[in-house]
Structure 1
Amino acid sequence: MLLVFTHKITPRLSYAFKHICTRILGVPVSFTTTIEEFIAHESLKISYAKQPLSNEIFIRSHELLFEQGLNDVEIHVHDWDTTKAFFSTSEKSSLPYDIFAATFYLLSRYEEYLPHVKDEYGRFLAKESLAFKNGFLHQPVIDIWAYKFKSVLQAQFPDFEFPKKLYSIQPVVDVPMAYYFRQKGLLRTIGGTLGDLFRFKFRQFYQRYLVLFGFQRDPYDTFKWIITKQKQTKFKFVVFFLIGDYSTYDKNINVNRKQFVSLIKSVSDYCKVGLKASYFALEDIEVLKKEKKKMESIVNYGLEASRHSFSKLNLPESYRNLIELEVKQDFTMGYINELGFRAGTCTPFQFYDLDYEVQTPLQINAFHCIDYALLKRQSFLDKKQELERLIQQVKQVNGTFTPVFHNYTFGDDVRWKGFRDLFGVILDSVDDE
């Protein structure tokens, strides 16, 4: 166990240290404000204060972990070996940066509470983030800092054996629309047919009726392939189905259709099934509650995971609603147009409510790669290299790689050519360990 001496134990301090020490390095941590207890402790120990006690491992503390609420935080990002860091310490400090305060800043999404420009859906943009502006979005900096901290501990306590952590993957399949042509009902099918004709989409008109008459598989129906892939890997896919009411934003199949229900049930036999919360469920907890109950009645087990439509988050309300409904995990944290680490880590973490100053039970599984962001790369080779670079970043710190692909990504549309192979690269990345 690591013992931390500090002048004041706060929820922020406990939260940041537990992420680095326990979740990333696998070492339990406890805190003390008593010098005698600190001196008597014979295993791993550090002091986190303004001045060292003697010649122990010392990290000069930044004020952030002892404050409450939001304040103007001055941040200067510097190069640190092959990575970046902020919140400089002092010459006496064993590390040149207060990685714990910096970790709290990134994990709590402090910057997303501050004034910023949103996109047309009200989302926080990657280019507004500290990580993007300072060129470290592509690195899981918190995990990199944790391993630098581990080196300092190992030098001081060479006999201590750290637990071994392995690289893992957590593939996400997002299903905003299970079928493109099938199961749409008479009115939507007529509307789609007329739309094809008026827009001279004769190939789509022809394909629509080949599918409807059973001569061709629906272009979005890739579920047999997904299940086959799931059978080939020990890591459970998390498949998120949208079952909310039809609206301007959400256009999935009606959840009362038997075939749609049986599809969800059959996928849940092999994969973990979660709820893709509809656009209006983001604003209305009653709508979210209704969708959660419906999904639970389909899969016959308590809903554990959710993901928001359009990857939209309203902090802290979105997460508070999930906590109130006892949802345990969320997979919304990430950027639609950029690859990288929105919260600076590739290790799942708990949501910290900045207003209430408390760590919550909700686990945040930030995604690091989404198929739409990969589309920006022109050739298949560019996409593959970019993906492998990202995987390598996670492997170096034995983290969890979380990619998001959509069911239609695995179809035959020219736009998504090669994406099945890219998904295979992710699955195979565990085998070449």
Structure 2
Amino acid sequence: MLHNKIRQYLIDFLVGPLFIQSQGEDRYQRRFEAVGYTDDPEEMKQYPVVILPSGFFDSSHYGTPRSCPSLPLREWRGIPILFGEPREEWSREGHQVIIHADLIASSYFLLSRYEEMYLRHERDQLGRFPGKSSLAYRAGFLHRPIVDEYGDALREILLSSGIAERYNLRIPERAKTFSAVHLTHDLAYPYNYRGWRSFLRAWLRERKSPLRSLKLAFGLDKEDDFYTYPRFLKWDQELKEHLPKGVTHIHFFIRMPSHSALDRPRYRPRSSYMRRVLLEAGRAKAHLGLLGSHQACLYAEMIGGERKAFEQAYAKPPHSLRYSSLAACEPEDYLQALYSGFRHDYTMGYADVVGFRLGTCHPVRFINPNTRQLTELTLHPLILRDLTLSSGEAMGLDHEQAEQIASELVHTVARYNGELTLLWHNHLLSQKTHPWHSVLYRSLLRQIEEIDREAIEAAEQDSVISSY
């Protein structure tokens, strides 16, 4: 069965902690368990709303072929459900709503990435679980955060059924804007040409003249194609200034030296060039995180050594973690990250398709599907990644198609007051490298600002109306 700690975490994740509204000094402080997850007749009496278990967590079911939903999925209130029956009813006494759709097991399946643990044979050439193999993609709801939709439906039941009024529950309306915006940049290729190796590459392999090769390898930083930092950090800073304080966060993920051919260029974290890059990051007050190498994706125990190398290079621990090419998907990878001291991970997006890999646009504490334990590692959903949109090995979209899909996802996150995480690489923000990624990125930042401004104006209008 499901541990009580995880059961309560999932219920709180869906509807939020509920408090009985009172008038004294303890106003809103008395917690009330309005939603239960049980089929025990005596235990059911404690809750005004009961979700019936489907058997997913039974020892005879969990981890077996029967635990994976089959297509097509049925819908409850217009939302796909993975387990249970798509219906609800009032109890005979008429004071309790019983939901036969197993929203807890459905949420757990998505939030814990259960299918990635179970379907370990489904991996691409880099060891990643393909988004196109996921249930969400095959069932056609990857673009929808259906766990958040479950939560909204439960809150609506509490309000429309009169349960919230009967128990005097406080259920505040969520703002239609972002709870947080994370602008993240992976320094997989911090430069195009720097040093003698770059000179030899430009001269001998790319057949450039010796003078041109020298200028590329030893010229000013701003002349390097990939040195886009001042430009995009200016855009990031502008958004940070327009959104409320503490909403926008800028992240640089930096890789430590690795022997894997996939981790080239093997740049030195304390080189003079990197010092100048980090000076730009410091001015923007960007968080520095560790970009786990491809070697660490293959050998999870190496992530602890890379964290120590980061601390030695920069005299402070990394703020957070992301694995290179989003190549981590095994529960063991995240356990090693947790044991190494990480508490925040930004890897949770598919490399081949964009959308809601976790089924939500809110940060989630990592639930180990092997042991069914709740951990202290927070997974931040990665909603949009530049390469996923444009690469021929992924979605292969053109500018117009990419903007339409990206805009829809950004608006969806705002609708559920979610956390928006974007990943744009410094080298792809050069128009010499890619024709439209810098244009798309800036367009998305403007949309984020506009959505937030409209939400503030709507809240002010509601406040004026309610005052009459």
TM range (shorter): 0.7 to 0.9
Aligned to 1:70: 63
| 1:397-412 paired onto structure 2 within 5 Å | 397-412=416-431
Change (3 A) 1:80 1:189: farther
Aligned to 1:209: 215
Q: CA deviation at 1:143?
A: 0.5
1-structure distance, mates of 2:222, 2:414 = 41
Q: Number of aligned pairs?
A: 406
1:353 aligns with 2:347: no
Name which of structure 1's ranges 89-98 and 324-333 shifts more when overlaid on structure 2: 89-98
Change (3 A) 1:407 1:74: closer
Q: CA deviation at 1:164?
A: 4.9
Q: Secondary structure at the match of 1:274?
A: strand
Q: CA deviation at 1:314?
A: 4.2
Aligned to 1:152: 157
Deviations 1:371-396 (A, max 9, x none): 12222464433222211111122122
Gaps of 5+ in 1: 1-7, 30-40
Change (3 A) 1:208 1:305: farther
Equivalent residue for 1:98, pick from 89, 96, 102: 102
Gaps of 5+ in 2: 20-29, 90-96, 456-468
1-structure distance, mates of 2:330, 2:403 = 33
Name which of structure 1's ranges 59-68 and 142-151 shifts more when overlaid on structure 2: 59-68
Change (3 A) 1:260 1:42: closer
1:242 aligns with 2:255: yes
Aligned to 1:130: 135
Aligned to 1:179: 191
2-structure distance, mates of 1:204, 1:236 = 42
Aligned to 1:222: 228
Give the letter for the 1:398 counterpart.
Answer: N
Q: CA deviation at 1:427?
A: 4.0
Change (3 A) 1:64 1:265: farther
Change (3 A) 1:292 1:268: farther
| 1:7-406 paired onto structure 2 within 5 Å | 10-11=2-3, 13-21=4-12, 23=13, 25-27=15-17, 43-50=32-39, 53=44, 56-67=48-59, 70-72=63-65, 73-76=67-70, 77-89=73-85, 91-92=88-89, 94-115=98-119, 116-154=121-159, 155=161, 156-158=163-165, 159-166=168-175, 167=178, 168-182=180-194, 185-197=195-207, 206=212, 209-210=215-216, 212-214=218-220, 217-232=223-238, 233=240, 234=245, 235-245=248-258, 247-252=260-265, 253-269=267-283, 270-284=285-299, 287-375=302-390, 376=395, 378-406=397-425
1-structure distance, mates of 2:171, 2:307 = 40
Calculate percent identity across the aligned residue pairs. 21
Q: CA deviation at 1:145?
A: 0.5
Q: Secondary structure at the match of 1:317?
A: helix
Change (3 A) 1:318 1:190: same
Give the letter for the 1:132 counterpart.
Answer: Y
Change (3 A) 1:292 1:426: farther
Name which of structure 1's ranges 301-310 and 123-132 shifts more when overlaid on structure 2: 301-310
